[in-house]
Amino acid sequence: MPLLEVRNLKTWYPVKTGWFKPEKFVRAVDGVSFAMESGETLGLVGESGCGKSTLGRTIVRLEKPVSGEVILDGTNLASLKGAALRKSRKRFQMIFQDPYGSLNPRMSVARALDEVLSIHTSANKDGRRSRMVELLEMVGLGEEHLNRFPHQFSGGQRQRIGIARALAVEPEIIVADEPVSALDVSVQAQIVNLLVEIQKKTGVAFLFIAHDLAVVEHISDRIMVMYLGKIVESGPADIVCGDPRHPYTEALLSAVPVLDPETKRKRIVLPGDVPSPANPPNGCRFHPRCPKAIDKCRSVPPELTQFDDGKNHSVACHLADTATATSARG
């Protein structure tokens, strides 16, 4: 049984329209299904505006879905309310993209961590203090940092504090929403390596959200590629990056820098921008930008199908070789 199972999740936002006009919605997440195992890192990648952050926020119930299920170890988080939801929050936590905005500038590190520990644990003052020091040491900081405020830290240090706060209640899963995109490249590597080490020590599962496929490939066991509210490809990281089957995944990979100067990679430049999720295209949502689109792509939405090759590789594309594919939903 998987640790986390997301079933046909939809997060829509209503759009104001004029009188007597039909109601419209921004379909940020539009029918997403996947599963995660304990202790694994699942990467979620896509352009800005594809709905990946909304998906992460919906899983941790910072956004409310209009339909679907989020099953964490047998409990449907999507249906929880009030005290039941608050009690369950210690099982799942989130690391936010902005290390500057995710910390209260008026709260010291000690107060920020103590707030979490006092709500979700029964430890006394000394016990909470001991846990704070343990958490800071786990993320590469020390006890001397407890009484400092966010403005006294660098961006990388602030993100380490955010990670410590997420780890405070020993969650089963952490959603990391672009945790390195606001940091310098040299600091990004430090944070990614820190997350890898933390996972080895604690066994926590990560849903790692990013737009940089190179970073996602480095840290993830499996990767999902998202476009305009839907998953278009998923599978083991080495398979998705080494043998992509969706034209959108191929375009994302073509933008990843190559260190070997003798390795030539043709850059695939996609025309236009991501269409509005309030008015998605008919058929395949990627077809207006796809260099390989055929007539079927313009009218028939492709289903996410799994190849019968034992590699758990799925793709939603009419052009993929589906002769040996089986329905991923079945």
Quote the domain boundaries for residue 18.
Answer: 4-327
Strand 4-15, strand 67-72: pairing:
antiparallel
Question: Would you state the structure tokens that stand for residue 159, as one six-digit string?
Answer: 């993100």
pTM of the model: 0.90
> For residues 190-201, b (16+ Cβ closer than 10 Å) or e, as one string?
bbbebbeebbee
Residues β-bridged to residue 44: 209, 224
Tokens 């039941």 correspond to: 84
Look up the CATH number of the domain holding residue 86: 3.40.50.300
- Backbone φ and ψ for 193, nearest 5 degrees, come out as -65, -35
Number of domains in the chain: 1
Tokens 């979620």 correspond to: 44
Distance of CA 308 to the CA centre of its chain: 26
Tokens 């679907």 correspond to: 68
Digit-by-digit pLDDT tens for the chain (330 residues) are 899 999 999 999 998 877 777 788 999 999 999 999 999 999 999 988 899 999 999 999 999 999 999 999 889 999 998 989 988 999 999 999 887 888 899 999 999 999 999 988 888 999 999 999 999 999 999 999 999 999 999 989 999 999 999 999 999 999 999 998 878 888 888 999 999 999 999 999 999 999 888 889 989 999 999 999 999 999 999 999 988 999 999 999 988 877 666 666 678 888 888 888 989 999 999 999 999 999 999 999 999 998 877 789 999 999 886 444 444 433
